Structures are given as structure tokens and as C-alpha cells.
Amino acid sequence: MKHYAHDAIKYVIDLEYAKRLKGIGVRQKSLFYWVVYNAVNYYSMGVVYGQIDEQQAKFCETFSAFTSEELSDLLPARLQGWGDLTCIKDRDSGGWLIGYDPDLVRCAVSSRSEANTRAKMLIYLFEKGWLKINQ
């Protein structure tokens, strides 16, 4: 059995974004995984390091818990007609901003963590049809 990586929760995307990325069809390969056990009278979830074995997989759902670095590899560095990818920490709110223009005015999203901000941008690009899943 893999051990829960409680500290990793600070560095990976929230379960909500992990589910959405899996639903879009993003390849499920990460250092960490959200594991959700949902059985009669039992519910548990957490982040584990590495994939779980086939026996465990029969009793749970898994979702890649991408880190901000992993998501950086999935996001295009530049969007035609928009500019280069920029991701900064907002000093006023303490959250993160990401977008494809230097002023972060057009095509920008924000969230409380860098990983969630990058996940939201990736979801946005897929939903707008600006990125496609490589089959």
C-alpha cells in the first residue's frame, strides 16, 4: 500500500481540477495521484506518491495530482497571436496569475496556488479548443 503524502497537498492541484483534467483526456502520468476510495460506509481520499498497484485500483478512483512543474511541461510556452506564457505571484492577494500577454490582461486566470492556476489555464485552453489532446 502506498503511503499518503500529506505535505504534497500544498504542491499539487486540487482534486476538482484533477478530475476535470482527466475528464478532458489529459494523460494520467504524475509523481502524485489523488486516490478516492468510495465504498459502502467508507469514504477516504488523499494524495499518494507514485501509482497504486492493480489490486488497490479495484477499490478506488485515481486522478493525476499534477505539480506546477508538471503542468508547465503541458502548457504551451507561447500562443500564436497572444504572446509568451507569464505566471506571477500577486503580492496583493497572495494568489497566482497566469496568462499569455505581458500585462496579464487577455487570456488570464488566477487561483490561490501556482499548480491550480496552471491547471485552470490548461482547462481553459482545452475548453476554448486552443489545445487538443494528442492521441
CA atoms within 13 A on the CB side of 6: 0
- pTM for the complete prediction? 0.85
DSSP 11: T
Give dist(CA 68, CA 130) in Å, integer. 20
C-alpha cell at 88: 506571477
Domain extents in the chain: 6-66, 69-127
Give dist(CA 60, CA 125) in Å, integer. 29
Q: Between residues 107 and 26, which one has the greater pLDDT? A: 26
* Predicted local confidence at residue 6, as pLDDT: 64
Residues 6+ apart with CB under 8 A from 128: none
Would you say 22 and 63 are in contact if contact means Cβ atoms under 8 Å apart? Answer: yes
Q: Per residue in 15-25, pLDDT tens?
A: 999 999 999 99
Distance of CA 97 to the CA centre of its chain: 15
CA pseudo-torsion sign 48, 53, 56, 58: positive
